Chains A and B, each alone.
Chain A
Amino acid sequence: GQNIDQPTEMTATEGAIVQINCTYQTSGFNGLFWYQQHAGEAPTFLSYNVLDGLEEKGRFSSFLSRSKGYSYLLLKELQMKDSASYLCAPTNDYKLSFGAGTTVTVRA
């Protein structure tokens, strides 16, 4: 079965840093995706981690520890447009299992 745990909501101030944690227990694991989903829109790809460690891409970074079943998404220099839901999705071969998502609200 699949068990993916991430916080439901987080609030942060514009310009700040927020870290969204995700723990997972899945039957089979190849890598982990992070997606961003604005309200009423489709998810868009942010990052993909296969190996342990940190992947940095601009203001967004993602970390993976396969042995701990743990990942986090780090959002730096928060902007108002970063207010969205962030979905953690471990993958087994082609099949992604999505968490319920973390809604991040950025306040001025």
Chain B
Amino acid sequence: GAGVSQSPSNKVTEKGKDVELRCDPISGHTALYWYRQSLGQGLEFLIYFQGNSAPDKSGLPSDRFSAERTGGSVSTLTIQRTQQEDSAVYLCASSNGRREQYFGPGTRLTVT
């Protein structure tokens, strides 16, 4: 079946602009995660959604970052007033409960 998809694959934006990144998880997966990976760094946990439970937002680096998951499926990560340090690859993953996570191809964000 289809894997996790993300859009756009690349996004270049000017400092101060808002961006929205989209994630379509694997159908039927109840859990959805957002991570950030800066060049040469490990994956940094941002936020976790599980079913209808309140999301774990403990990894969001600032209040400029927010995420929603509508209808238990598609998720959008929004970054307001982007800064150059926000430049990274943003990865979405989904899983069926606490099993292995399947990652999307990521969105490469460049803030100029």
B42 touches A100 (CB 8 A): yes
Q: Does A90 contact B (CB under 8 A)?
A: no
Q: Bound state CA distance, A2 and B103, in angstroms?
A: 22
The interface bits of chain B over 80-103 (1 if a CB of A lies within 8 angstroms of the residue's CB, else 0) are 000000000001000000111111
**Contact A87–B50 (Cβ < 8 Å):** no
User: Shortest CB–CB separation between residue A65 and chain B, in angstroms?
Assistant: 21
- Bound Cα distance A98, B102 (Å): 15
Please judge, given known A-B contacts A42-B91, A42-B106, whether A94 and B100 are in contact too, CB under 8 Å.
Answer: no
Q: A99 vs B41: C-alpha distance in the bound complex, in angstroms?
A: 8
If A42-B91, A93-B98 touch, whether A98 touches B42 (CB-CB below 8 Å) is yes
Within 8 A of B (CB), among A58-107: 87, 89, 91, 93-101
Q: How many A-B contacts at CB < 8 Å in the complex?
A: 47
**The residue from A41, A91, A95 contacting B105, defined by CB atoms under 8 A apart:** A41
B34 at the interface (CB under 8 A from A): no
Q: Is the CB of B31 within 8 A of A94?
A: yes
Chain A 16-45 near chain B by CB (<8 Å), digits 1 or 0: 000000000000001001000000011111
Q: Pick the contact of B98: A30, A97, A101 (CB < 8 A).
A: A30
Cβ of B65 under 8 Å from chain A: no
Task: Assess whether A96 is in contact with B101, with CB atoms less than 8 Å apart.
Answer: yes
Interfacial residues of chain B within 56-112, with CB under 8 A of chain A in the complex? 56, 91, 98-106
Is B43 among interface residues, defined by CB-CB distance under 8 A?
A: yes
Apart from A96-B45, A98-B43, what 4 extra A-B contacts exist at CB < 8 Å? A93-B98, A95-B45, A95-B48, A98-B35
B residues whose Cβ falls under 8 Å from a Cβ of A: 31, 33, 35, 40-45, 48, 50, 56, 91, 98-106
